[in-house]
Amino acid sequence: MSTRVENINRDIIEWAIIRNGNSLKEFYAENPTVESWIKGEKLPTVKQLESFTHKVHVPFGYMFLKAPPVEDVPIPFFRTGNKTPVKSVSLNVFHTIQIIKDRQTWLTDYLEELDFTKLDFVGKYTVKDDYRVIVEDIRRVLQIEPNWASKHSNWELALEFLTNKIEEAGIIVTFNGIVGTNTRRVIDVNECRGFVLVDDRAPFLFINSSDAKAAQMFTLIHELAHIWLGKSAGFDMDNMLPVEDPIEILCDKVAAELLVPEVYFLEKWESSQDFIYLSRTFKVSPIVIGRRALDLNLITKKQFFAFYNSYIQDFKNKKEKQGSGGNYYATAKKRVSIRFATFVNHAVKDNKLLYRDAYRLTNMKGETYNKFVTEYLY
């Protein structure tokens, strides 16, 4: 006979349902057994309660708390149109931040144990500094020229080049559009294009890979600027516009100048005002080109938003027609980061990390993990 759980907290159950993004009415309609627990008509078995916690993504132990835990967003999370950071995010974004934070905590401790020096560019500047000075320092650290993007044939290669340069500087870059490896838990681009967790030994950048490749480039540099300012944050960058925050505005200026230098842009603008053509030249999204033109007062807001809305709709239509798939291991390299996975692999080989912890940190297990580190890591 199955063991029944008597001391469950009904308030916790309803909190967990709402926290997962469900309405109580709809959830109970689809899961009448859970509603019977709330009404006191039945008691759940241990197995039923475990199944429930998996469905709503909460630890089993939460079911026995006296009150719902406080789960504050660990970093400022900005929404376009808001003057202050929001106090809550969706569960998918919250769990993704937790995953990346867990990796960062381990790597920071590991690098400290190995006597890795702190990265001197983290927090080097403040909001009072000129964005052009910050851009020059980023170029120096990454060892790139002002016209670096023009040397690559397409956006994908330019993004790969830039990502490698950033990782070589000691920064972990991860790309993912879902929570871990759960394809049913998609991270909405409209809520989160990315976030950055600043640390002077192991800073982490997270980019929502559901976004257009060329748009990811802008997010990547925006986050990079946050590291130079020493400020963790997350953002949606709706309509490619910054929030009303001095740091966010400065980071946008850094990203715009590094990706689309004003001098080169004005030179190209004289011969062509075609956003698509210019985007191919600078290897960024046409929307970024539009934003740059708007910032430099070359077009009006009305012109920018007309183009923006049209472009976004076209992108959505094309994405719906594209199938999913691709090489699992090639995707894993981006989700985990080659630099991070290399440290994990070395720690395992040096007996400083258990395999079970390596599996947790990389979201891979057994033969999948072994094949990844032996065939795809280097």
Q: What is the mean pLDDT of the chain?
A: 89
Closest CA relative to residue 202, chosen from 125, 101, 124, 126: 101
For residue 312, name the pLDDT band (cuts at 50, 70, 90): confident
pTM summary value? 0.84
Exposure pattern of 72-88 as b/e (b: 16+ CB <10 Å)? ebebbbbbeeeeebeee
> Beta strands of the chain (E only): which ranges?
77-78, 172-176, 178-179, 182-186, 194-197, 204-208, 233-235
In angstroms, the CA 172 to CA 176 distance is 13
For residue 157, the one-letter residue type is: L
Tokens coding 134: 């910050």
At residue 370, the pLDDT reads 94
What is the C-alpha separation between 40 and 35, in angstroms, rounded?
9
Single-letter code of the amino acid located at 22: N
For residue 86, which phi and psi values (nearest 5 degrees)?
Answer: -75, 155
84: amino acid identity, one letter: T
Rounded CA separation 345/44 (Å): 42
Domain ranges in the chain?
A: 10-64, 77-321, 328-376
Spatial CA neighbour of 248 closest among 364, 79, 111: 79
**Is 224 a residue whose pLDDT tops 80?**
yes
- Position 83 scores a pLDDT of 66
Q: What is the DSSP string of 165-202?
A: HHHHTT-EEEEESEETTEEEEE--TTT-SEEEE--SS-
Helix axes 286-295, 275-282, angle to 10 degrees: 100
For residue 19, give every residue at least 6 positions away whose Cβ sits within 8 Å of its Cβ, in sequence order, or none: 56, 58, 68, 71, 91
* CA separation for the pair 282, 149 (Å, rounded): 6
The pLDDT confidence band at residue 81, using thresholds 50, 70 and 90, is: low
More confident residue, 66 or 336: 336
pLDDT of residue 190: 85
Residue with tokens 């600078």: 282
Give SS3 for 370. Answer: helix
Most confident of 6-20, 106-120, 231-245: 106-120
pLDDT at 205 over 60: yes
Q: Work out whether strand 172-176 and strand 204-208 pair parallel, antiparallel, or are unpaired.
A: parallel
Total number of residues shown for the chain: 378
Longest dimension (CA), the chain: 80
Q: Reduced to 3 states, what is the DSSP secondary structure of residue 206? A: strand
Residue 373, C-beta contacts closer than 8 angstroms, at least 6 positions apart: 341, 345
Query: Per residue in 128-157, pLDDT tens?
Result: 999 999 999 999 999 999 888 888 888 888
Q: What is the pLDDT of residues 271-305, one digit of tens each?
A: 999 998 998 888 888 888 998 999 899 999 889 88
Flag whether pLDDT at 70 surpasses 90: no
Pairing mode, strands 204-208 and 194-197 = antiparallel
Confidence of residue 23 (pLDDT cuts 50, 70, 90): confident
Query: Other CB atoms closer than 10 Å to residue 321's CB: what's the count?
Result: 6
Mean pLDDT of the region 256-274: 93
